[in-house]
Amino acid sequence: MAPFSAAFRESPMSLLWRVRMRHAADLLTANALSIDQVALNAGYQSRSSFTRTFRGYYGSDPLEYRARALRASSDSATPTENAIEEFDAV
């Protein structure tokens, strides 16, 4: 474990936890799975355990994270849609 920790600057469990949370965040952003399915895909058998861990890592629960991600993606799509509308008007 010492060589691993020296190479990655964190313990194997810490790295696994970080990778699971990033994977869960990606799944939430894709908005294709339920929270229960995201929890299972991230390696959690319990939705409540997953939600507690996710909240500790990201500072918000999975539903709030998903809602923010969807708002951000729709906000970033708006300028493109406006540009298309302006082009069509010309």
Answer yes or no: is pLDDT of 22 > 80.
yes
The string of pLDDT tens digits covering residues 39-80 is 999 999 999 999 999 999 999 999 999 999 988 888 765 554
d(CA 60, CA 7): 31
- For all residues of the chain together, what is the average pLDDT? 85
Contacts of 31 (CB under 8 A, 6+ apart): 66, 69, 70
Q: How confident is the model at residue 6 (pLDDT cuts 50, 70, 90)?
A: confident
Contact 32, 38 (CB under 8 A): no
- Higher pLDDT: 7 or 28? It is 28
d(CA 50, CA 37): 11
pTM, full prediction:
0.74
